[in-house]
Amino acid sequence: AASGVAMVSAKAANAEGDPAIINKQEWNQYLGEGVDARPYGMPSQFESHVRRQDVPWLTADPVSSVNFTPLHELDGIITPNGLCFERHHAGIAEVDPAEHRLMINGLVDRPLVFTMEDLMRFPRENHVYFLECAANTGMEWAGAQLNGCQFTHGMIHNVMYTGVPLRLLLQEAGVKTTGKWIMPEGADASGMTRSIPIEKALDDCLVAFKMNGEALRPEQGYPVRLVVPGWEGNMWIKWLRRIEVGDQPWHHREETSKYTDLLADGQARRFTWEMDAKSVITSPSPQAPITQGPGPLVITGVAWSGRGTIPRVDVTIDGGITWQQARMSGPSLNKSMHRFYLDVEWDGKPMLLQSRAHDSTGYVQPTKEQLRHVRGENSIYHNNSIQTWAVNEKGEAENVEIS
């Protein structure tokens, strides 16, 4: 092991010793900023590369576009608010909470208007849920394309929400027996709308005003958004200003032109709400290569399912010839991200890395091959297939497809 130590150490010491130890650093001797300097703190200057990033060629304009969570730089299961990916259709609405209202109308006994203060007087709940855009990994249907899990899988975040069960607000207005659907609507300039069946609305949806403890961020719908656990992100209406109750769905633009799944035969699935079990290795990955050479290596990633928890993730380093069960770490919560690890000793040879999630319903994440067999290559949304990274001898990783 003694020679191994020398090999794997990032910086071997010479006889005079490591200057980082022998020489005093500024921060060992001199005072830093005080407790009055940073009323709201930000990451270290040495972490400025950890940021949301957009892909300019994807859309005509950054104002109706998406950026991506830097999954390859994160660990655990919580996404910090500043790094939660953004997807908006008319830019970030900067809503003044004093001027914000939530209306409930349609098939209710009494149409109501709530202020933010009114909402804060209902009983609240706290839950950690992932939000994944249905288009996450959508650019990969036709083939391996974007080289980094931030881009292939970064339309997801995982947050603890505080909010009022939607059920309580609907009960307050009194849903008529004919009320079978709701249509939440946003206050931004896209006036975002979706149709949601009343069963889901009365089950686990939240009208949330806090994320990870503090107020929602403007990018995420401040002052109030809908939380639709396990269902595609577009339904989680941001800047929520109205909920209409109706007897039929609305078939609005985001559930017809968009967010319908075009199959190979030209037919299309609609109302594909649930997000199936999925996982991805976040490190090593194209943006997080192995820099330290052979020896101990932490393979890690995230897994989630819109239909429950993730009791198990399998990892292969040889492209699927052999699989090992990964170690799950951190709380296992319903419809939340899960973190997995596989601690290996890397021999320095090329690897083909994949992860495969099992959810609590018994569903197993499919291969791209399996999914394309059912859906073809034009489906855009709901690509939850197994991702492959090819790692070379230098530790560099690439997004590939394999046989």
Partner 1 sequence: VSGAPAPQTAGFGLGRDALPVEIAAWDIDVRPDGAGLPAGSGDVWTGEEVFVEKCAMCHGDFGEAVGRWPVLAGGHNTLSDEDPVKTIGSYWPYLSTVYDYINRAMPFGMAQSLTNDEVYAITAYLLYVNDLVDDDFELSNDNFLEVRLPNEPNFYMDDRATTEYPIFAGDVCMTDCKDSVTITMRATVLDVTPDDGSEGGEEAAEEEPAETEEASVE
Binders of partner 1 in range 87-146 (CB under 8 A): 87, 89-90, 103-105, 110-114, 118, 121-123, 133-135, 138-139, 141-146
136 is a site residue for Co ion (CB under 5 A): no
Contact yes or no for 316/366 (Cβ under 8 A): no
Structure tokens at 235: 């339904």
Question: What mask of x and - would describe binding to ligand HEC in positions 55 to 74, judged by CB under 6 A?
Answer: -----xx--x----------
Cα–Cα dist 59/90, whole Å? 13
Residue type, 4: G
Taking CB under 8 A as the criterion, which residues in 194-223 touch a copy of itself? 210, 212-215, 217-219, 222-223
Question: What mask of x and - would describe binding to ligand HEC in positions 248 to 277, judged by CB under 6 A?
Answer: -----x---x--------------------
- Contact partner, 126, from Ca ion, Co ion, partner 1, none, Cβ < 5-8 Å per class: none
For residue 88, what are the CA distances in angstroms to 67, 93, 139, 191, 345? 10, 9, 18, 11, 43
361 is a site residue for a copy of itself (CB under 8 A): no
> 64 or 332, CB closer to ligand HEC?
64
Cα–Cα dist 174/145, whole Å? 49
Q: How far is the CB of 188 from a copy of itself (least distance, A)?
A: 6
Structure tokens at 72: 């390859």
Cα–Cα dist 342/103, whole Å? 49
Contact yes or no for 241/196 (Cβ under 8 A): no
Contact yes or no for 83/74 (Cβ under 8 A): yes
> 81 or 147, CB closer to a copy of itself?
81
Q: How far is the CB of 76 from a copy of itself (least distance, A)?
A: 4
Q: How far is the CB of 333 from Co ion (least distance, A)?
A: 23
Comparing CA positions, the residue from 176, 169, 171, 161 lying closest to residue 236 is 161
- Contact partner, 314, from ligand HEC, a copy of itself, partner 1, none, Cβ < 5-8 Å per class: partner 1
Residues that bind Ca ion (CB under 5 A): 244, 378
